[in-house]
């Protein structure tokens, strides 16, 4: 399968890339790792007259902790995240998730920025950013702006990014002590999208009660789902079985999956409930709270 013809641009700076996007408007598309975009072009599900490849712009692939935030450059390959000692030891929610994304060869090309900016609710990292309370940093002709992850997803494949904006960085508040996270995904096989998946991040107070909770669901509707009611319900409560079960029930109630070969709506909602419950147990155990 061969994509429809397009012009390929390989800018060497962000400003040059933004200039190209501004000039070509909705005719242009940012090419990051290409693991979603190239299949779309090849299957002719979409076409763009101009591709702007950000893969050779320096400085977009750093993973570091600074000024209270974990920052991840948008061009960071999934494989780099997977091998990062910092991620594996300090951010288990991401450490859990990355090996479950696509397959190792796809992760060698696919990027964190692409996973987030594509706006596909089946992608795994949007729900994680919701759970972590992350901020997405975008650059456009007017400069830089920060968008909260829970303000980023507008509709299926539609994000808050303007056509001339590029997602450059993900900023995650460094979790305080006694925090833990987990990501659990039910899928049929390597490379599959989730039948259901749950991202959970918690912080436990000194007295053992839950101080903060974030819950995100993958592939549970046209946009990534933030289970805000369930998260609020948890705050201030002791993390006992009954509380966890109720939070999982509340989170699953927010899930609006569609039926497909991965299962019926009822099955997927039930799996979301089970996975949120298990992810909460795992995150709390990692937080040292139980």
127 within 8 A of 218, measured Cβ to Cβ: yes
Residue number, 79 or 245, with CB nearest to another protein: 79
Separation CA 127–CA 131 (nearest Å): 6
Candidate list 69, 86, 108, 238; residue touching another protein; CB under 8 A: 108
Q: What is d(CA 281, CA 216) in angstroms, rounded to the nearest whole number?
A: 15
Q: Does 190 bind another protein (CB under 8 A)?
A: yes
Question: How would you classify residue 219: left for phi > 0, otherwise alpha for psi between -120 and 50, otherwise beta?
Answer: left
Identify the residue among 14, 20, 35, 117 touching another protein (CB under 8 A).
35
What is the rounded end-to-end Cα distance, in angstroms, of the chain?
A: 53
Q: Does 44 bind another protein (CB under 8 A)?
A: no
Asked whether position 42 contacts another protein by CB under 8 A, the answer is yes
Q: How far is CA 170 from CA 30, 91, 114, 253, in A?
A: 17, 14, 11, 29
* CB of 96 or CB of 211, closer to another protein: 96
241-253 and 265-287 helices, crossing angle to 10°: 140
Stretch that binds another protein, among 37-45, 139-147, 178-186, 281-289 (CB under 8 A): 37-45
Q: Which of 25, 59, 99, 173 binds another protein (CB under 8 A)?
A: 99
Kindly give the residue spans of alpha helices, DSSP state H, lying in the chain. Answer: 14-24, 37-42, 78-83, 85-90, 92-97, 104-109, 112-117, 125-132, 149-152, 228-234, 241-253, 265-287
Distance between CA 138 and CA 169 in Å, rounded? 7
Query: In this structure, what token pair is assigned to residue 247?
Result: 């939070």
Smaller CB separation from another protein, 11 or 239 = 11
# chain residues binding another protein, by CB under 8 A: 30
Q: Is residue 45 at the binding interface for another protein, with CB under 8 A as the rule?
A: no
* Residue (34 or 222) nearer to another protein, CB: 34
Determine the interface stretch with another protein among 51-59, 124-132, 218-226, 254-262 (rule: CB under 8 A): 51-59
Shortest Cβ 191–another protein spacing (Å): 6
Residues of this chain that bind another protein (CB under 8 A): 1-8, 10, 34-35, 38-39, 41-43, 51, 53, 55, 79, 99, 102-106, 108-109, 190-191
């Amino acid at each position: 399968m061969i994509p429809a013809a397009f012009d390929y641009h390989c800018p060497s700076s962000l400003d040059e890339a933004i200039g190209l996007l501004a000039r070509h408007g909705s005719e242009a598309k940012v090419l990051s790792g290409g693991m979603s975009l190239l299949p779309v072009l090849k299957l002719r599900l979409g076409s763009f007259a101009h591709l702007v490849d950000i893969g050779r712009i320096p400085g977009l692939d750093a993973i570091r902790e600074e000024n209270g935030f974990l920052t991840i450059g948008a061009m960071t390959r999934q494989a780099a995240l997977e091998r990062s000692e910092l991620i594996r030891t300090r951010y288990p929610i991401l450490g859990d998730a990355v090996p479950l994304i696509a397959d190792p060869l796809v992760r060698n090309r696919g990027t964190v920025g692409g996973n987030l900016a594509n706006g596909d609710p089946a992608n795994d990292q949007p729900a994680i950013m919701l759970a972590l309370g992350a901020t997405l940093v975008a650059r456009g002709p007017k400069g830089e702006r920060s968008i909260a992850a829970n303000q980023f997803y507008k509709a299926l494949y539609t994000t808050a990014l303007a056509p001339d904006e590029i997602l450059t960085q993900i900023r995650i508040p460094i979790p305080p002590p006694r925090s833990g996270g987990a990501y659990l995904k039910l899928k049929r096989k390597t490379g599959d999208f989730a039948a259901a998946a749950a991202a959970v991040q918690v912080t436990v107070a000194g007295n053992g009660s839950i101080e903060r909770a974030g819950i995100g669901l993958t592939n549970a509707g046209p946009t990534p789902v933030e289970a805000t009611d369930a998260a609020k319900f948890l705050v201030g409560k002791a993390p006992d079985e009954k509380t966890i079960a109720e939070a999982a029930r509340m989170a699953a109630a927010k899930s609006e999956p569609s039926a497909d070969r991965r299962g019926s709506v009822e099955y997927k909602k039930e799996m979301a409930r089970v996975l949120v419950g298990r992810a909460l147990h795992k995150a709390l155990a990692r937080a040292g709270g139980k």
